Structure 1
Amino acid sequence: MKQLIACCGLDCESCDARIATVRDDNELREKTAQLWSKLNNIPEITADTINCMGCCVDGVKTMYCSDMCAIRKCVNEKGFNTCG
């Protein structure tokens, strides 16, 4: 299994947060923050919180992925790789 598959099954390699982090792309961070903030109704998601290397790898995580994602919390509590 690819290591960059998130706990929820999404492909972290194609995630805008990871791409923005790898490329140090502040414009993409801003765009991603606005979208995620709107989709999740969480105004605390801002461009400066969009830094992530992937859900299941060592390194920085977005505020949402590290602290708010119920799927990631569940998977980690149960010792699984994904919810699948």
Structure 2
Amino acid sequence: MTDYIAYCGLDCEQCEARIATVNDDNDLRAKVVEEWSKLNRVEITPDMINCVGCRLTGVKTPFCQSLCQIRQCALGMKVVTCGDCTEMTSCSKLSDIISNNPDAKRRLEGK
């Protein structure tokens, strides 16, 4: 598993926030701001769209840095990903992601 796989199994390399950060692409940041603001019903600004990846050292979006319950739990449990946690299949924090994203679940299961 690469370092770009988030604790929850999502692929950070495919995340438009990460792509905008790596390429310093302000047009892509603006697109992400529009989409994420609507989706989350909160005001998101372009300066918030900077992230190198969930498990990598470096800048994160405000959500990924401190609001994501999955990331905070995994850091506290000191696991590489949620796939290393014995409670993965029953975890209420993780259930929405792995029930809606079979690729994330497969990554965590190591398949």
Tell me the TM-score normalised to structure 2 length. Answer: 0.70
Report matched runs for 1:1-84 at 5 Å.
1-43=1-43, 45-84=44-83
Q: CA shift at 1:33, angstroms?
A: 1.6
Q: CA shift at 1:8, angstroms?
A: 1.3
Q: CA shift at 1:40, angstroms?
A: 2.1
| CA shift digits 1:10-47 (9 cap, x unpaired) | 1111110010001110011111122122222222x211
> As a proportion of its length, which structure holds more helix?
2
Amino acid at match of 1:61: K
Q: CA shift at 1:80, angstroms?
A: 1.1
Whole-angstrom CA distance in 1 between matches of 2:73 and 2:42 = 20
1:47–1:74 distance in 2 versus 1, CA, 3 Å: same
Two-structure CA RMSD over aligned residues (Å)? 1.1
Whole-angstrom CA distance in 2 between matches of 1:81 and 1:22 = 23
| Identity rate, percent | 57
Tell me the TM-score normalised to structure 1 length. Answer: 0.90
Question: Post-superposition, which runs of at least 4 consecutive aligned residues in structure 1 deviate over 2 A?
Answer: none
Q: Which stretches in structure 2 are left out of the alignment for 5+ residues?
A: 84-111
Q: CA shift at 1:6, angstroms?
A: 0.8
1:37–1:83 distance in 2 versus 1, CA, 3 Å: farther
Q: Report how many aligned residue pairs link the two structures.
A: 83
Q: Which has the larger radius of gyration?
A: 2
